[in-house]
């Protein structure tokens, strides 16, 4: 109800409404009946707005749920992860009515959406959307007020689709050295760093001089590919070959003031804008090198595959490869090696199915005098 107050010696009507524990107020110019009626109308309008907001909060729109989730993902994870999850939501919103409420989402709606991804894209793509949208639903249940927690997660309720997984492409070691030979000096050192650390693209692009411990021959790589998107670092031994190459680059580097090891120093007009800045992406770099060397195209991440393959074929066990790839779990490393087509099945078949050794009796021949 409006109340009368005195302000600067003049009586006035004051409208007042409590909103989320905070009082909203509005003063009217005098204490007349007209001001009183306006104050009452204002209070009623604010209360109606609150009721409408509460109704809307009870039924989140899919697009609002998506925006809330993606805002949080942007702060926690790398850009690649954000784009992957954003794409999944974009496909979902395009398939459904964008004004549809979250509490209308059921497995009966999620199933045909995911089937469409299976048909138009692949089983792997459908399962990836299933995973991302299921995670978003669980996030909503955990963090959003008035989210339909009593409902079953409509995406995880859908069974996974069959996938056709092909082994990841691993370039022959000769192909790597072919592109290495024709690369320029900084690019050669960058390629060698990829090979000798099994680093991911962003980890090598963001490598700084302070990440090189010359005294202990160690190199530090930072990653955000950990649970919760936490940025963590790992120290790896620096091979003597890589150490010498990086020392030479430290002395010859044309941009002395930058903290990054590898920066843009190209000579064309486009590169001038980014001169001295760290690389963000080099889309055509590997493609151009592979074409010039006459080898099948492979990317930076394939060099990580190559490092793991070389170590595997030289007999190093999974625990060693795990520490170099910097996986938290050996299960991840085993799964990774399987996707590269590296399995221990051949050894198991060779050793496990080997026939028992056949004993061949030795027949001693008598030597006669005539044979002497």
Average pLDDT over residues 193-207: 94
List the 3-7 sheet strands across, edge first. Answer: 3-7, 10-19, 22-27
Token pair, residue 156, equals: 């995880």
pLDDT (0 to 100) of residue 151: 93
Residue 261 contacts residue 363 (beta carbons within 8 Å)? no
Total residues found in the chain within this entry = 372
Domains and CATH numbers, the chain: 3-58 (no CATH), 62-143 (1.10.150), 173-243+281-342 (1.10.443.10)
pLDDT at 370 over 50: no
Average pLDDT over residues 190-205: 95
Residue with tokens 């409509």: 154
Token pair, residue 350, equals: 């060779």
Please state, in angstroms and as integers, the Cα–Cα distance from residue 23 to each residue in 18, 26, 49, 52, following that order: 4, 10, 15, 18
pLDDT (0 to 100) of residue 329: 81
> Each residue of 240-272: pLDDT tens digit?
999 999 999 999 999 999 999 999 987 554 556
Taking the whole predicted model, whether its pTM rises above 0.75 is answered as: no
pLDDT at 26 over 90: no
Mean pLDDT of the chain: 84
């Amino acid at each position: 109800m409006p109340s009368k107050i005195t302000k600067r010696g003049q009586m006035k009507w004051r409208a007042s409404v409590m909103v989320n524990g905070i009082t909203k107020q509005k003063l009217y110019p005098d204490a007349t009946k007209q001001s009183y009626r306006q104050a009452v109308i204002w209070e009623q309008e604010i209360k109606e707005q609150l009721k409408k907001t509460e109704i809307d909060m009870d039924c989140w729109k899919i697009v609002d749920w998506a925006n809330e989730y993606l805002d949080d993902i942007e702060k926690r994870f790398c850009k690649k992860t954000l784009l992957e999850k954003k794409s999944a939501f974009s496909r979902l919103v395009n398939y459904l009515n964008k004004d549809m409420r979250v509490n209308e989402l059921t497995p009966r709606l999620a199933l045909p959406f995911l089937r469409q991804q299976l048909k138009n894209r692949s089983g792997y793509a459908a399962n990836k959307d299933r995973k991302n949208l299921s995670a978003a639903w669980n996030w909503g249940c955990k963090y959003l007020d008035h989210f339909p927690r009593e409902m079953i997660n409509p995406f995880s309720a859908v069974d996974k689709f069959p996938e056709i997984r092909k082994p990841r492409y691993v370039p022959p070691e000769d192909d790597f050295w072919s592109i290495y030979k024709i690369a320029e000096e900084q690019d050669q050192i960058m390629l060698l760093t990829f090979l000798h650390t099994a680093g991911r693209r962003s980890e090598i692009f963001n490598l700084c001089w302070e990440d090189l411990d010359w005294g202990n021959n160690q190199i530090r790589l930072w990653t955000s590919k950990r649970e919760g998107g936490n940025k963590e670092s790992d120290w790896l031994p620096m091979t003597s070959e890589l150490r010498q190459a990086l020392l030479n680059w430290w002395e010859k580097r044309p941009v002395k003031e930058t903290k990054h090891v590898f920066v843009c120093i190209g000579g064309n007009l486009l590169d001038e804008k980014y001169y001295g800045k760290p690389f963000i992406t080099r889309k055509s770099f590997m493609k151009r090198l592979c074409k010039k060397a006459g080898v099948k195209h492979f990317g930076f991440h394939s060099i990580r595959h190559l490092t793991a393959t070389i170590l595997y074929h030289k007999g190093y066990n999974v625990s060693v490869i795990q520490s170099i790839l910097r996986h938290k779990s050996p299960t991840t490393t085993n799964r990774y090696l399987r996707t590269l087509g590296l399995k221990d099945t051949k050894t198991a078949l060779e050793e496990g199915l080997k026939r028992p050794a056949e004993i061949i009796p030795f027949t001693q021949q008598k030597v006669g005098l005539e044979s002497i």
